[in-house]
């Protein structure tokens, strides 16, 4: 695809716009909720058990420790102060074998997430990552879904406010074109080309057999090219019960998104064959808005709706004694988050 056409595609499809272009027009809405709560950083009270309410700079390992083990992958915390050899030994002793997933302990948007196939790749990742990180066993389920959950303090049952299915970035062979050529034919993958060149190198020159799928990014990150499909209409009583049962066991969790690998929605609704790979708190987006079929106005309406629920939950928890974040601490958090994001982008 020619450069000008790629730029035009990005311009005319709001899902590719930078976050500031999507969220800045809604600043008056956030200001309204801030006045209502009497705090600009009211979200801190939404999930009292999470640092900063789960908005940013929270440890993923601390959140995994809150979730019953049967719902999550085997996970090992790796300190940057450890020797790579002893760190890898710790991983293997826990029964996690190659390939496995590495991700920053404090991170966002799947920056710094990688699939590690051998010892050399582990050492390379260890040297590149700027902070402590986690190693997780590779989950065999091939479907990923994001489920947004809200439960008001004091209520026994919550509600699911959005469901998004995530299609991993991939190409399908035709027996003639190289992977590189296939990538360039689709703007969604073409926009990821520089990162894919860095990851795969000369492997992109390989020609795929007809109808053979090649996964370019094996996780459902919109910033890494995954296509998001709004599946909120697939909500059913069984799915709500499954998610309710899990979330009720996580103390102090009232608002956020669960990212889940599963075999099928039907089995997930029965509480079978799934694994929670991440829980995002106050900073979690209702990512069903990124379905290409949705307009920017739909996204703004959903963002505003979820901010309203976040505001209500935070105010209720604040009345119960849970604190808001001070303006000074809130600014420091945002600054630290911006600096970390800049570091993780280059991993």
- Per-residue pLDDT for 235 more than 90? yes
User: What pLDDT does residue 1 have?
Assistant: 77
Which fold is adopted by the domain 74-138?
Dna Ligase; domain 1 (3.30.1490)
pTM, two decimals, is 0.95
Cβ neighbors of 229 (< 8 A, separation 6 or more) are: 164, 165, 166, 167, 291
Segments making up each domain of the chain, as ranges: 11-73+139-167+226-345, 74-138, 169-217
**CA distances to 20, 296, 301 from 23, in Å:** 5, 11, 12
CA angle, corner 338, sides to 288 and 297, nearest 5? 30
**How far apart (Å, rounded) are the C-alpha atoms in residues 48 and 179?**
47
Mean pLDDT of the chain: 96
Beta strands in 79-150 (DSSP E): 100-104, 114-116, 133-137, 143-150
For residues 147-161, average pLDDT: 96
**CA distances to 45, 55, 66, 275, 282 from 50, in Å:** 9, 9, 9, 20, 9
User: What pLDDT does residue 110 have?
Assistant: 84
User: What pLDDT does residue 104 have?
Assistant: 96
> How sure is the predictor about 226, in pLDDT bands with cuts at 50, 70 and 90?
very high
- Please state, for a pLDDT cut of 70, what percent of the chain lies above it: 100
pLDDT digits (tens, 9 = 90+) for 173-210: 999 999 999 999 999 999 999 999 999 999 999 999 99
For residues 254-266, average pLDDT: 98
- Per-residue pLDDT for 307 more than 80? yes
> How sure is the predictor about 211, in pLDDT bands with cuts at 50, 70 and 90?
very high
CA angle, corner 77, sides to 75 and 79, nearest 5? 160
């Amino acid at each position: 695809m020619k450069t000008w056409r790629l730029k035009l595609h990005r311009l005319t499809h709001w899902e590719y716009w930078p976050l500031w272009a999507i969220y800045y027009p809604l600043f008056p809405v956030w200001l309204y909720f801030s006045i209502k709560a009497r705090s600009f950083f009211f979200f801190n009270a939404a999930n009292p058990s999470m640092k900063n309410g789960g908005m940013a700079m929270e440890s993923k390992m601390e959140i995994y420790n809150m979730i019953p083990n049967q719902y999550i992958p085997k996970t090992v915390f790796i300190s940057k102060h450890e020797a790579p050899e002893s760190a890898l030994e710790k991983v293997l002793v826990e029964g996690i074998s190659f390939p496995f997933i590495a991700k920053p302990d404090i991170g966002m948007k799947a920056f710094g997430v990688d699939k590690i196939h051998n010892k050399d790749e582990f050492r390379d990742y260890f040297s590149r990552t700027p902070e402590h990180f986690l190693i997780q066993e590779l989950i065999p389920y091939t479907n990923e879904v994001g489920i947004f959950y809200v439960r008001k303090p004091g209520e026994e049952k919550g509600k699911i406010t959005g469901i998004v299915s995530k299609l991993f970035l991939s190409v399908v062979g035709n027996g003639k074109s190289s992977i590189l050529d296939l990538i360039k034919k689709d703007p969604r993958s073409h926009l990821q080309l520089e990162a894919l060149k860095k990851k795969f190198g000369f492997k992109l020159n390989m020609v795929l057999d007809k109808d053979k799928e090649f996964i370019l990014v094996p996780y459902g990150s919109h910033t890494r090219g995954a296509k998001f499909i709004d599946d909120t209409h697939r909500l059913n009583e069984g799915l709500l019960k499954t998610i309710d049962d899990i979330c009720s066991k996580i103390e102090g969790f009232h608002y956020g998104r669960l990212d889940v690998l599963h075999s099928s929605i039907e089995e997930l609704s029965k509480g079978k064959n799934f694994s929670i790979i991440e829980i995002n708190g106050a900073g979690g987006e209702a990512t069903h808005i990124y379905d290409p079929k949705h307009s920017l106005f739909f996204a703004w309406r959903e963002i505003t709706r979820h901010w309203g629920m976040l505001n209500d939950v935070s105010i209720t928890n604040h009345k119960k004694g849970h604190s808001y974040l001070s303006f000074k601490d809130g600014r420091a958090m945002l600054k630290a988050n911006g600096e970390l994001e800049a570091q993780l982008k280059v991993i």
